[in-house]
């Protein structure tokens, strides 16, 4: 096996280091690094002023803003209800619990196009729920609210599945101590439980936000896709591609990719913090 | 998200306190809120898919599903998943082995790269392959010279799908490998087992359930991928049309029954995936309980009964009651 002259490998006696390292690096390089490199190359060859122009035109700015705000709203809704769902699933036993538990994972397994047409069908004007909401003056389909509904749907597993294991591992002794010292349940939750859940909630929120920022399939059906109004950034990339504006599409994609990298970095930091909080 | 089995084993067998508990009405309200939230956001849309697919009975559903274009979409979807999933499964086991068994320079960077396709927009995942293999892409001139078509053809769909689904098996297997440690593998090594023997006789059986769930999930995502495939496919009916793209085409043609019929096929795939996950979780919980029982039993029967003090706490070597829970 690989006996490297420098300290590439520090620990581990099992065989297979050279083989698995070589294979993994080759596969990741071919499938991830090379394409990303090609994209950055493409973006950099079109000239700086053209890039700035494509990235900062009015329609692009509106699309970033819409993607950012709706993703934030969707992740925010999930941060609140996700904690409730995680709490109920990890603390209580009740009939239908395993159905509820299974529903949480469904958005992760359901194809986004299916989610898109299903949500549109639920919230369109002539559907039961969509009609009810419309008679109350709330229009969901083909508005920004519709985008938020779709982004909430796809983000559901992230907060629940990040918070749930932490909640299950949490020592109830501290809660009992708080109760015996006279703290009410709400005060115990706010002062004792919430602080230890905070890293997990934030991580789940960031994961849901990152996913929502790039989401395409579930949104295009319900959003109506009106430029400046309900056109999210991934859709703008597709529109530019369909007009053979490869440079423009690449420029916007580069901005989105930069945002994803920043988020990934932030999520890594959050997870490190969460691990330290657990220990 | 990842490592359901590790989570189940860690979380089983906790005790709830009586002092620190909510009032019954608070419990009921919280359960109600959770059920209402998931009911409206998840259950309602999924039910609508099936209700719409069968809204005019079984015949229109079957007509939509057995249409030649749907059949060719099914074929292409199966082909794509058939290539992408095995590739990612082999990679997943290799990468999980590498990351969980060794410490090396650049490990966390490698893990971040493996996770990367998760945080990239599916549209961008498609775009990067258009920029690589498209007519104006990096390899475009070379490819057109040799008359190889990747983008707007089947190879592009396969590559984009592989990219989008590529962390799924690695993540599940990695979580299980990290939770289980490598004591057994090291023991086998000292007894002279070869690397291949360790892999096939110890590691793979150990991570079996995590790997199976990873593969099933990877398969569901591969068959359901929309954004990335939509960008690279070129939407050629009957040729580069996968099932999710076919749903879009039918929907945009106002053929709602057809669109929902095909969508119901895909939704069933998601439901089967969840069913498999549930059964693996149940299996893992049962196994954890049995292991705990056996450990309990072993501890008590370690000392032969003839050597035990006469008034020992557990005089009989019979299986102990399951007190750990």
Residue of A nearest to B252 (CA): A221
Average pLDDT, chain A: 88
Residue A214 touches partner B, C-beta closer than 8 Å: yes
Distances (CA, A) of B282 to B1, B74, B274: 17, 32, 12
DSSP assignment of B187-206, as one string?
HHHHTT--HHHHIIIIIHHH
Phi, psi (rounded to 5 degrees) for B108: -70, -30
Whichever domain contains B223, its CATH number is: 1.10.3720.10
B45, B118, B273: residue with CB nearest A118: B45
Q: Supply the pLDDT for residue A278.
A: 66
Q: Stretch A48-57: mean pLDDT, rounded?
A: 85
For residues A224 and A143, the answer to whether their CB atoms sit within 8 Å is yes
Instruction: Please report whether residue B303 resides in a domain.
Output: no
Task: Identify which of B190, B253, B208, B157 has the alpha carbon closest to the alpha carbon of residue B199.
Answer: B208
CA dist., res. A214 & res. A235, Å (int): 10
Give the pLDDT confidence score for residue B319 in this predicted structure: 43
User: Is the confidence at residue A83, as pLDDT, over 90?
Assistant: yes
A250 touches chain B (CB under 8 A): yes
Contacts of B42 in chain A (CB under 8 A): 103-104, 106-107, 153, 156
Cross-chain residue pair A113–B34, CB shorter than 8 Å: no
The rounded percent of chain A whose pLDDT value lies above 70 is: 95
Spatial distance between the Cα atoms of B242 and A4, rounded to a whole number of angstroms: 46
pLDDT band at A61; cut points 50, 70, 90: very high
C-alpha to C-alpha distance for A149 and A218, rounded to whole angstroms: 10
- List phi, psi (to 5°) of B308: -75, 150
ipTM of the complex: 0.89
Question: Per the structure block, which two tokens stand in for A176?
Answer: 């009992």
Domain range list for chain A: 72-278
Q: What is the pTM of this model?
A: 0.86
What does A21-32 look like in DSSP terms, one character per residue?
A: HHHHHHHHIIII
**Adjacent-strand bridge partners of A265:** none
pLDDT tens digits along A69-80:
999 999 999 999
Are A17 and B163 inside 8 Å of each other by CB? no
- Looking at residue A55, its pLDDT comes to 87
Residue B152 lies in a domain: yes
The pLDDT of residue A130 is above 90: no
pLDDT in tens, A187-231: 888 888 898 899 999 999 999 999 999 999 999 999 988 888 899
Number of domains comprising chain B: 1
Chain A CB contacts of B74 below 8 Å: none
Q: Which residues of chain B have pLDDT under 50?
A: 1-15, 309-325
Residue with the larger pLDDT of the pair A185 and B48: B48
Å between A87 CA and nearest CA of chain B? 8
pLDDT of B267 reads 96
pLDDT value at residue B281:
85
CA distance A112 to chain B (A): 7
CB contact (8 A) between residue B132 and residue A34:
yes
Residue B261 to residue B62: CA distance in whole angstroms: 8
Q: Determine, for residues B34 and A8 on separate chains, whether the beta-carbon distance falls below 8 Å.
A: no
Residue A65 Cα, gap to closest chain B Cα (Å): 16
Q: Does A129 touch chain B (CB under 8 A)?
A: yes
Which ranges constitute the DSSP H helices of chain B? 4-11, 24-38, 44-53, 58-65, 68-101, 107-119, 122-133, 140-145, 154-164, 167-180, 183-190, 195-198, 204-206, 208-224, 227-233, 243-252, 256-301
Q: Let me know if residue B300 belongs to a domain.
A: no
Query: Candidates 1.10.3720.10, 3.40.640.10, 3.40.50.620, 3.30.70.3190; correct CATH number of A72-278?
Result: 1.10.3720.10
Nearest Cα residue to B264 out of B27, B34, B62: B62
Res A1 pLDDT > 60: no
Residue A255 has pLDDT above 80, yes or no: yes
- The answer to whether residue B266 is domain-embedded is yes
State the residue range of the domain holding B246: 82-288
Q: Are B244 and B229 in contact (CB under 8 A)?
A: yes
Give the pLDDT score at B45: 95
Q: Do A84 and B20 touch (CB under 8 A)?
A: no
B307 in any annotated domain: no
- What is the structure's pLDDT at B304? 53
């Amino acid at each position: 096996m690989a006996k490297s002259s420098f300290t590439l490998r520090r620990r581990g006696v099992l065989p297979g280091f050279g083989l698995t390292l070589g294979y993994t690096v080759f596969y990741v390089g071919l499938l991830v690094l090379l394409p990303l490199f090609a994209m950055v190359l493409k973006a950099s060859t079109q000239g700086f002023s053209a890039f700035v122009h494509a990235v900062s035109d009015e329609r692009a700015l509106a699309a970033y803003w819409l993607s950012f705000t709706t993703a934030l709203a969707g992740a925010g809704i999930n941060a609140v209800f996700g904690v409730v769902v995680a709490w109920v699933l990890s603390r209580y036993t009740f009939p239908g619990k395993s159905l509820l538990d299974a529903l949480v994972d469904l958005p992760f397994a359901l194809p986004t196009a299916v989610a898109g047409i299903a949500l549109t069908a639920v919230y369109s004007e002539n559907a039961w729920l969509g009609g009810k909401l419309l008679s109350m003056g709330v229009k969901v389909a083909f508005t920004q609210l519709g985008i938020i509904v779709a982004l909430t749907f796809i983000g559901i597993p992230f907060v629940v599945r990040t918070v749930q294991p932490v909640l299950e591992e949490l020592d109830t002794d501290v809660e009992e101590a708080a109760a015996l010292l006279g703290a009410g349940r709400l005060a115990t939750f706010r002062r004792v439980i919430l602080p230890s859940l905070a890293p997990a909630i934030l991580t789940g929120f960031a994961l849901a936000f990152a996913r929502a920022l790039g989401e395409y399939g579930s949104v295009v059906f319900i959003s109506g896709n009106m430029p400046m109004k309900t056109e999210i950034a991934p859709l703008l990339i597709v529109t530019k591609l369909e007009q053979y504006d490869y440079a423009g599409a690449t420029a916007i994609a580069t901005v989105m990719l930069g945002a994803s990298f920043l988020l990934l970095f932030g999520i890594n930091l959050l997870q490190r913090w969460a691990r330290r909080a657990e220990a | 998200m990842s490592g359901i089995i590790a989570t189940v084993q860690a979380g089983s067998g906790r005790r709830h306190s009586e002092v620190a508990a909510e009032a019954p009405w608070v419990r009921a309200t919280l359960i109600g809120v959770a059920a209402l939230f998931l009911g409206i956001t998840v259950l309602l849309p999924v039910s609508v898919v099936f209700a719409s697919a069968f809204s005019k009975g079984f015949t229109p559903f079957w007509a939509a599903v057995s249409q030649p274009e749907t059949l060719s979409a099914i074929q292409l979807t199966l082909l794509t998943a058939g290539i992408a999933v095995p590739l990612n499964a082999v990679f997943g086991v290799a990468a999980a082995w590498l990351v969980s068994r060794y410490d090396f320079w650049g490990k966390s960077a490698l893990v971040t790269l493996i996770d990367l396709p998760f945080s990239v927009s599916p549209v961008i995942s498609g775009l990067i392959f258009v920029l690589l293999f498209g007519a104006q892409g990096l390899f475009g001139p070379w490819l057109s010279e040799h008359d190889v078509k990747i983008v707007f053809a089947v190879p592009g769909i396969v590559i984009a799908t592989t990219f989008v689904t590529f962390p799924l098996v690695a993540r599940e297997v990695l979580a299980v490998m990290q939770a289980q440690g490598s004591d057994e593998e090291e023991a086998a090594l000292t007894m002279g087992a070869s690397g291949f023997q360790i892999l096939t006789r110890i590691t793979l059986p150990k991570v079996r359930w995590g790997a199976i769930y990873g593969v099933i999930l990877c398969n569901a995502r591969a068959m359901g991928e929309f954004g990335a495939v939509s960008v690279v496919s070129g939407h050629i009916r009957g040729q580069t049309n996968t099932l999710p793209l076919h749903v879009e085409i039918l929907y945009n043609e106002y053929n709602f029954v057809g669109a929902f019929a095909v969508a119901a096929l895909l939704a069933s795939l998601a439901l089967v995936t969840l069913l498999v996950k549930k059964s693996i979780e149940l299996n893992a919980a049962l196994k954890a309980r049995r292991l705990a029982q056996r450990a309990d039993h072993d501890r008590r029967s370690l000392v032969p009964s003839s050597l035990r003090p006469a008034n020992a706490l557990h005089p009989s070597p019979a299986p102990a009651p399951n007190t750990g829970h």
